[in-house]
């Protein structure tokens, strides 16, 4: 699979940031994970975690944002170079994630872990947190405006939802009802055929833009 074919994976937007704690030889490692839209949001999340855990020995960070190319950053926050941020970043890479930021807060427990131990602890903290997270794929979708008269709108809306189509918005006007529907680009021709059959040719459809939708990643 080429870089262009890699799925666009990120964390689910529902539920907000995730926090998971592990302990290694009396040191506490708190991994905070969040989905972000860009580097500015990633930096803002990092700043908020550092403010919250200001009394910790270290707040090490890693994030990946965007796609083609993906932008990556990591920071060891005074841990030995390459023992914290880099292994955290590597975990995000291995999972194929983007638009994701991780902050691992360490409360020192008095036992030195050594370079190898730190790499395992920081990478392991992110891996454990991701084990609790919901990963989704962001897919490009066409935004289609589907229009129908008032007498047919109720049944059409039920048919749209029953068929699994994503209805983004419903707008009632004097002329009729408009449904904004998100449809994967490759499925647009099939959707048009389905709509013609479901509405016996009475519904209109027009592409009005593009967006992304989240689908579960198994």
pTM of the model: 0.78
- Determine what percent of the chain is predicted with pLDDT higher than 90: 80
> Domains plus CATH for the chain?
3-133 (3.30.230.30), 140-213 (3.30.70.240)
Q: How confident is the model at residue 120, as a pLDDT?
A: 97
* Whether pLDDT at 13 is above 90: no
pLDDT in tens, 135-163: 999 988 899 999 999 999 999 999 999 99
Please list, in sequence order, all residues whose beta carbon lies within 8 angstroms of the beta carbon of residue 188, skipping any fewer than 6 positions away: 142, 144, 207
Name the β-bridge partners of 216.
136
DSSP at 163: T
pLDDT in tens, 86-114: 999 999 999 999 999 999 999 999 999 99
Q: How confident is the model at residue 3, as a pLDDT?
A: 44
CA distances from 199 to 55, 160, 183, 189, 196 (A): 62, 10, 17, 16, 5
Average pLDDT over residues 192-209: 94
* Whether pLDDT at 70 is above 50: yes
Backbone angles phi, psi at 79, to 5 degrees: -75, 160
Record the tokens describing residue 54, joined without a space.
């200001």
Q: How confident is the model at residue 1, as a pLDDT?
A: 39
Cα separation, 25 vs 111, in Å, equals 6
Residue 111: CA atoms inside 13 Å, Cβ hemisphere, count? 9
pLDDT in tens, 23-40: 999 999 999 999 999 999
């Amino acid at each position: 699979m080429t870089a262009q074919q890699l799925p666009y994976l990120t964390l689910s937007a529902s539920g907000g940031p995730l926090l998971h704690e592990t302990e290694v030889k009396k040191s506490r490692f708190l991994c905070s994970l969040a989905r972000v839209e860009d580097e500015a949001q990633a930096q803002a999340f990092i700043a908020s975690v550092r403010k919250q855990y200001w009394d910790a020995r270290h707040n090490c960070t890693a994030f990946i944002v965007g796609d083609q190319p993906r932008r990556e950053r990591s920071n060891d926050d005074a841990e030995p170079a390459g023992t914290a941020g880099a292994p955290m970043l590597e975990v995000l890479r291995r999972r194929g994630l983007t638009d994701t930021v991780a902050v691992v807060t360490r409360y020192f427990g008095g036992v030195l872990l050594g370079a190898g131990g730190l790499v395992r602890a920081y990478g392991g903290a992110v891996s454990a947190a991701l084990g609790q997270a919901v990963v989704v794929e962001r897919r490009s979708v066409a935004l289609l405006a589907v229009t129908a008269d008032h007498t047919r709108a109720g049944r059409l809306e039920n048919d749209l939802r029953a068929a699994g189509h994503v209805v983004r918005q419903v707008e009632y006007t004097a002329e009729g009802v408009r449904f904004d529907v998100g449809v994967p680009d490759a499925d647009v021709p099939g959707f048009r055929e389905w709509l013609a059959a479901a509405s016996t040719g009475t519904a209109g459809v027009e592409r009005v833009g593009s967006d992304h939708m989240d689908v579960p990643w198994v």
